[in-house]
Amino acid sequence: MKTLSFIGSDKNAGKTTVLNFVFRKLSEDPGRAVPVCLTSIGINGEEVDTYEGHPKPSIRLYKGSYFVTACEHLKELTGRYEICFSFNDFNKLYILGKCLSDFQVVLEGPNNRQELLRLKKVVGTLLPDSRLLIDGSIDRQFLAHPDISDGFYFALLISDRKEQLQKAHDLLFSLTLPVCPENHRLFLTTTGIEDRKSILYDRENKILYHGSEMPSLDDNLKDACMKCKDSKTSLYLNGAFSKSLFSFFAPFKKLTIILDNFTLYQNISVGENLGPRFSPEIFLLHPVRVNTIFLREDAGETAFPGLPQDIPIINLFRENPHEIRI
């Protein structure tokens, strides 16, 4: 089973539109007799945004496709699907169903890593040759882990608002971060990083500090880094690399920072640009696997430099592409 996730840079970035687009392309491809199953991190598919009250694109499933959602969203759909599996060991009752006709549905799945892995295991066993599409969001960091997703589709909003433009630049920069050297990868993957939010180690791979607290809140981590500021060290982080951390580590000339995955880079600064004065090198432990970037230009013909050259880019709201790399 191949798992594809959908991430949006902002609310109203077009993530659900992208999901519908890719789902339709997979379903319409006569050369692929591959089952497609849809689910979501949390809830998506409501007609109206819960927080803002704005209309939202609906999610329409096609006859023969599969889905996983909470049982409560299927009350009005009796007779339009068959139950393939019931997930009885979650906080909610989730159903893996097969569509007997086309219909709109609200998707809801588990929103933490371990539960999603359990769900994936069941779907992968029952539908081994399928494509599992997960409607995600930018704040679900675990979706970037290769154990979860084989690839991403990224919905990027570009507007003329200064704050949003900076956010878009930072998100795109995170997609271009290189993978860490092999010696670091081997050390970290054999050390055991599952429950660690930070690991500070020297050039001999001696661990100087490890913490389970979010790095931006971990004063002990900052103290440990200050003590070896003039020594060559490396720091693994599995928590948001926020603006405050970016500012704190900016003068550390002998530090190498390794982020677990690209979604952790959150240097969203609308003031002074600290980038040119940031001394440490930044790497990723897990490579970026973005299949396609879909643009939504909220301000019309926005000139936006810095788009990655090696990732397919489609303006879904202006173009009518005949094919897409899936």
Position 144 pLDDT exceeds 90? no
- β-partners of residue 68 are 96
Q: Has residue 310 been placed in a domain?
A: yes
What's the mean pLDDT when you consider all of the chain?
84
pLDDT for the residue 176: 86
Q: What percent of the chain has pLDDT over 70?
A: 84
Position 76 pLDDT exceeds 80? yes
- Determine how many CB atoms are found less than 10 A away from the CB of residue 5: 25
Q: Has residue 116 been placed in a domain?
A: yes
The number of CA neighbours under 13 Å toward the Cβ of 100 is 8
The letter for the amino acid at 160 is D
pLDDT for the residue 306: 65
Cβ(159)–Cβ(118) below 8 Å: no
Range of the domain at 270: 178-284
Q: 295 and 259 in one domain?
A: no
pLDDT confidence of 326, banded at 50, 70, 90? very low
Rounded CA gap, 23 and 12, in Å?
Answer: 19
pLDDT for the residue 166: 74
pLDDT for the residue 156: 83
Give the helix/strand (H/E) hosting 296: strand 290-297
Q: 106 and 14 in one domain?
A: yes
Q: 309 and 294 in one domain?
A: yes
Q: 90 and 196 in one domain?
A: no
Q: Has residue 324 been placed in a domain?
A: no
Cβ(249)–Cβ(225) below 8 Å: yes
Average pLDDT over residues 22-43: 84
Q: 310 and 271 in one domain?
A: no
pLDDT confidence of 267, banded at 50, 70, 90? low
pLDDT for the residue 319: 54
* CATH at 58: 3.40.50
Average pLDDT over residues 278-289: 92
Position 32 pLDDT exceeds 70? no
Q: Has residue 119 been placed in a domain?
A: yes
Q: 90 and 50 in one domain?
A: yes
- pLDDT, tens only, 147-184: 889 998 988 887 777 777 777 777 788 888 999 999 99
Pull the structure tokens for residue 54: 């704005």
pLDDT for the residue 136: 84
pLDDT for the residue 325: 45
Q: 205 and 66 in one domain?
A: no
Q: 70 and 53 in one domain?
A: yes
Pull the structure tokens for residue 236: 């693994």
Average pLDDT over residues 107-114: 89
Measured between alpha carbons, how far is residue 95 from residues 19, 67, 117, 310 in Å? 20, 8, 16, 38
Q: Has residue 322 been placed in a domain?
A: no
Q: 94 and 6 in one domain?
A: yes
Nearest to 214, CA basis, from 193, 236, 198 = 198
- β-partners of residue 100 are none
Summarize the chain as % helix, strand, coil (round to 5).
25, 30, 45
Q: 294 and 258 in one domain?
A: no
- pLDDT, tens only, 45-66: 455 454 444 555 679 999 999 9
pLDDT for the residue 288: 87
Q: 164 and 20 in one domain?
A: yes
Rounded CA gap, 46 and 30, in Å?
Answer: 30
Identify the residue with better confidence: 121 or 322. Answer: 121
Q: Which residues, in sequence order, are CB contacts of 53 under 8 Å at separation 6+?
A: none
Identify the residue with better confidence: 16 or 162. Answer: 16
> CA 136, 101, 15: angle at the middle one, nearest 5?
20
From first CA to last CA, the distance across the chain in angstroms is 14
Q: Has residue 18 been placed in a domain?
A: yes
Measured between alpha carbons, how far is residue 20 from residues 103, 142, 168 in Å? 13, 23, 23
Q: Has residue 323 been placed in a domain?
A: no
Position 24 pLDDT exceeds 60? yes
Position 80 pLDDT exceeds 70? yes
pLDDT for the residue 311: 83
Q: Has residue 113 been placed in a domain?
A: yes
**How many helices (H) does the chain have, and how many strands (E)?**
6, 18
Position 276 pLDDT exceeds 70? no
Domain total in the chain: 2
Q: Which residue in this structure is represented by tokens 């569509």? A: 99
Q: 257 and 301 in one domain?
A: no
* CATH at 267: 3.40.140
Pull the structure tokens for residue 33: 């007799």
pLDDT for the residue 322: 42
